[in-house]
Chains A and B, each alone.
Chain A
Amino acid sequence: MKRIAGINSPARSDMAVLKPFDVAAHVPDGFLFTRWMAALPWWTPFALMMAMVVYPQIAYAQSNFSTAEAFDALWRWMPFLLKSGFFFNVLISVLAMTIGTLAGAALGLAQISLLRPVRAGSWFVTQLFRNSPWLVLLFIVLLAFPFEIRAFGGVIRIPDWIKGVIGLSLPVMANISEVVRGAVQSVPTAQWEAAESLAFTRRQILWQIILPQCYKRMLPPWMNWYAILTMATPLCSLLGIEELITLSRQAMESEDNHPELLVPFFGFALLLFFAYCYPIARLTMRLERKFAVKL
């Protein structure tokens, strides 16, 4: 095996037994969440729904606010929660994913740069954001970012939800950075050598030969991170951003905060997230299996 600068560590020998132990091949692949979700049977949401109906009757049988009334309230709020709440979560997740993917791709490519400082710096940034709690990142962005920018002779206000998007895109960026680096390194070095011996430059090899082979293998982990990100968007409610969970709480308050409302309302939120992420998880695992067989 030959050393590709920035891509792998130097081989000390051509003999297989003397090669450095490949650590990357033996760590968990980061599909934990998606694998778990995709393994759930298809009737899980229906079971959840049944539990929602049954639970309040057992827990609050003596209460004067009936389960029927609670579901009646949910029914009234449902269109609002869906349109103003959940769609906003989806919007946040799509924007954060877009920003995180673009920034993460750049950061991932920086991690395989030939320049040592660039490589070290991008590695540090990746590890920092990958290993920080998402909520901490959200709060840092919320508190550290100005609420308005003076530019072009005017004042541009930055709403909190934009900060939420930026805060969520940071951990996504770091994880996508690792996905990109891992995918590039998973292409056999023989591909680099074949291209090198055809007089391709390093840049050409990366963009025309290595990366095109990576897109397919990057898709499942990318989708995995999208599902995780979507599930994390309710964190924004802690910043006061008016997404599904914030609006659910407000709706329950306006319905006099009966404890019987908790399970239907939050159960509904759970169902929405499940309905959105479950197909993604199933598709991800299917693609993962399909692409794993090839190459």
Chain B
Amino acid sequence: MTWTADQPIVSIKKVHKSFGTLEVLKGVSLDVMKGEVICIIGPSGSGKSTLIRCINGLNDIQGGSITVEGQEVHTPDLDKLALRRKVGMVFQQYNLFPHKTALENVMMAPVKVLRQNKADVEARARALMKKVRLEGKEDSYPGELSGGQQQRVAIARSLAMNPDVMLFDEVTAALDPETVKEVLVTIKDLAAEGMTCILVTHEMGFAREVADHIYFTDRGVIVEHGPPATFFDEASDPRTQEFLGQIL
């Protein structure tokens, strides 16, 4: 089966995932079309992060299926490296490589993994640093950058692989309030350029602004979903209402 752009770029069907006896995903399904921006919200422990970590194979699943561009993620014959070239991921704790400068962090994967020409990669990496508004910080080490700056380097690092889908796992949760905005602006730029983004976030205002579709998860299931306008104003499920009531 070859994938075409009119099919979901990421398709999650009835996914079950447990850690030992603890079932964290109990049959979650959702589809993401190319260029869409999806926000997954919900109380902590509801399985949001686990879900997006399953998309690039960082977590395995016990049942159901996940496909990225038509390729099943959870089969033994999966080419994990091929999948991860298509799917970029940004983490809550940035996870930059502390022994490399910001520019080297961005350049490393394209040079070492994709074996691209170093000079070309450097030019692209500098452009990406500019894009995330970190011009002049190329030679700084992660330890010398603020949380927000590190997170933007992490985004540039992921973008350097030219992914088709970007996963954002609570990327602003560890940041100071004043640096949250600079990261959100970066993500908003990306979304505006048509990048397919799947975000786990607690920033409701941001979700409302950028998302094409919002999914609310609680205790391992998707309780409710819809476009932001209807979701935030017409949420019908009592669990959604309770959550939104606490957060907004």
Q: Mark A159-197, 1 if CB is under 8 A from B, else 0.
A: 000000000000000000000000000001011011111
Contact A196 B58 (CB under 8 A): yes
Contact B112 A200 (CB under 8 A): yes
Contact A13 B56 (CB under 8 A): no
Collect the chain B residues with CB atoms within 8 Å of residue A198's CB: 84, 108-109, 113, 157-158, 161
Task: Report Cα–Cα, A213/B158, bound state, in Å.
Answer: 21
Collect the chain B residues with CB atoms within 8 Å of residue A213's CB: 97-99
* Stretch with Cβ within 8 A of A (4 or more), from B29-37, B87-95, B121-129, B177-185: B87-95
B172 within 8 A of A: no
Task: Report Cα–Cα, A138/B117, bound state, in Å.
Answer: 53
How many residues of A sit at the interface, in one of the four size bands? 20 to 34
Collect the chain B residues with CB atoms within 8 Å of residue A12's CB: 19-20, 22
Q: Which of A14, A197, A212 contacts B19 (CB 8 A)?
A: A14
Which B residues lie at the A interface, using CB under 8 A?
19-20, 22, 24, 45, 49-50, 53, 56, 58-59, 80-82, 84-85, 87-89, 91, 93, 95-99, 108-109, 112-113, 143, 154, 157-158, 161
| Known pairs A198-B109, A198-B113; A193 contacts B99 (CB<8 A) | no
A143 within 8 A of B: no
Q: Which of A13, A191, A208, A294 contacts B112 (CB 8 A)?
A: A208
Least CB separation from B161: chain A residue: A198
Collect the chain A residues with CB atoms within 8 Å of residue B53's CB: 2
A190-236, CB < 8 A from B: 190-191, 193-201, 204, 208-209, 212-213
Least CB separation from A12: chain B residue: B20
Contact A2 B59 (CB under 8 A): yes
Collect the chain A residues with CB atoms within 8 Å of residue B161's CB: 198-199
Least CB separation from B110: chain A residue: A198
Min CB distance A191 to B, Å, is 6
Task: Report Cα–Cα, A39/B45, bound state, in Å.
Answer: 48
Contact A197 B98 (CB under 8 A): no
Q: Which of A188, A193, A209, A295 contacts B58 (CB 8 A)?
A: A193
Task: Report Cα–Cα, A200/B84, bound state, in Å.
Answer: 9
A11 within 8 A of B: yes
Contact A294 B89 (CB under 8 A): no
Contact A201 B81 (CB under 8 A): yes
Collect the chain B residues with CB atoms within 8 Å of residue A295's CB: 98
Least CB separation from A198: chain B residue: B109
Collect the chain A residues with CB atoms within 8 Å of residue B59's CB: 2
Q: Which of A190, A199, A294 contacts B113 (CB 8 A)?
A: A199
Least CB separation from A201: chain B residue: B81
Min CB distance A232 to B, Å, is 33
Collect the chain B residues with CB atoms within 8 Å of residue A196's CB: 58, 84
Contact A208 B108 (CB under 8 A): yes
6 A-B pairs besides A190-B93, A194-B95, A194-B97 with CB distance below 8 A are: A12-B22, A14-B24, A15-B45, A18-B22, A197-B56, A197-B58
Contact A200 B113 (CB under 8 A): yes
Collect the chain A residues with CB atoms within 8 Å of residue B49's CB: 14
Q: Which of A193, A204, A212 contacts B95 (CB 8 A)?
A: A193
Collect the chain A residues with CB atoms within 8 Å of residue B97's CB: 191, 194-195, 209, 213
Min CB distance A21 to B, Å, is 16
Min CB distance B32 to A, Å, is 18
| Known pairs A190-B93, A191-B95, A295-B98; A197 contacts B87 (CB<8 A) | yes
